[in-house]
Amino acid sequence: MEENMEEGQTQKGCSECCIKCLSGIPYASLIATILLYAGVALFCGCGHEALSGTVTILQNYFEMIRTVETLDVFTMIDILKYVIYGVAAAFFVYGILLMVEGFFTTGAIRDLYGDFKITTCGRCVSAWFIMLTYIFMLAWLGVTAFTSLPVFMYFNIWNICQNMTVAEGTNVCFDLRQFGIVTPSDEKKICTNTEMFKKMCASDELDLTFHLFVCALAGAGAAVIAMVHYLMVLAANWAYVKDACRMQKYEDIKSKEEQELHDIHSTRSKERLNAYT
């Protein structure tokens, strides 16, 4: 009988511990972090491979050659690849920091007088994260707009390749000078009536690179949504921490006043007792 009671108390204690742990998880920050990691991974992975496919298309079908002396499009693509590496590492760390901030804020809200004390520093950290996340959201909006440009360019070429029978008899040329990829003195273009264009349409590089850029654009959009989600979470956490801090000050003042009233009452009781004796 006693063993069953002890087992029941142990199970109850484990259940309460699990419920307490689950109640301390910042689910809103967790969802935003998962969305951020998914978007950044999609953008960085697909964007990197799409840039590699662009190099292959430029070299094989537009007959462009890499030059070492000048800053050409191939050098720019290499720089963008290094930028992608930096973006992946930076936002991996930033997602962890935001999750840690969410855990501490949730702990502060759940237990005002627990181990984590609500301080002015905590509110300043939350406000700093709000400002930083807002800047990153604007940056990701710019990245999304920038990623839409190659999607538009590849869509035009891919659309013509998909409708070769309709475009038969017409000669449409794609000049890289129109997109600023090469200097005005370099004439690098490909026309629909050439064998090189038909060869490019029949290859897998064009179709794969186009869809990789579309996936990268979707990843950048997911990162923007994650940043907006983070802004809502951080703003709510900051407001909750601010209200909790006010409540803590109110409780401290109330406790102090009650202690003063108790001291006054005790002093008067002693005075009356002395007067009576």
Taking every pair of C-alpha atoms in the chain, what is the biggest distance, in angstroms?
122
Give the single-character DSSP code of 178.
G
Q: What is the pLDDT of residue 96?
A: 92
Q: What is the pLDDT of residue 216?
A: 96
Residue 98 in tokens: 């935001």
Identify the three-state secondary structure at position 242: helix
Give the single-character DSSP code of 164.
T
Q: What is the pLDDT of residue 60?
A: 87
Return all residues near 115 (Cβ < 8 A) that are at least 6 apart: 107
Q: How far apart are CA 196 and CA 2, in angstroms?
A: 86
Task: Going residue by residue through the chain, which has 277 residues, state the pLDDT in tens, using 9 for 90 and above.
Answer: 444 544 555 555 666 666 666 666 778 888 999 999 999 999 999 999 999 999 999 888 887 887 776 778 888 999 999 999 999 999 999 999 988 888 777 655 555 444 444 556 667 778 889 999 999 999 999 999 999 999 998 998 888 888 776 556 677 777 777 777 777 777 777 887 888 888 888 888 888 999 999 999 999 999 999 999 999 988 887 777 766 666 666 566 767 767 766 667 676 666 666 666 5
Q: What is the pLDDT of residue 113?
A: 41
Return all residues near 203 (Cβ < 8 A) that are at least 6 apart: none
**Closest among 273, 264, 257, 237 to 127, alpha carbons compared:** 237
E-assigned strand segments in the chain: 173-175, 189-191
Q: What is the pLDDT of residue 229?
A: 93
**Closest among 22, 74, 32 to 237, alpha carbons compared:** 32
Q: How far apart are CA 43 and CA 95, in angstroms?
A: 16
Q: What is the pLDDT of residue 101?
A: 82
Residue 36 in tokens: 């951020």
**Closest among 209, 212, 210, 226 to 40, alpha carbons compared:** 226
pLDDT per position as a tens digit, 7-47 = 555 555 666 666 666 666 778 888 999 999 999 999 999 99
Contact 108, 118 (CB under 8 A): yes
Rounded to whole angstroms, what are the CA distances from 123 to 107, 126, 160? Answer: 14, 5, 56
Q: What is the pLDDT of residue 25?
A: 73
Residue 83 in tokens: 């930028």
pTM check: above 0.85? no
Q: What is the pLDDT of residue 73?
A: 85
Q: What is the pLDDT of residue 112?
A: 47
Q: What is the pLDDT of residue 196?
A: 85
What are 191's strand-pairing partners? 173
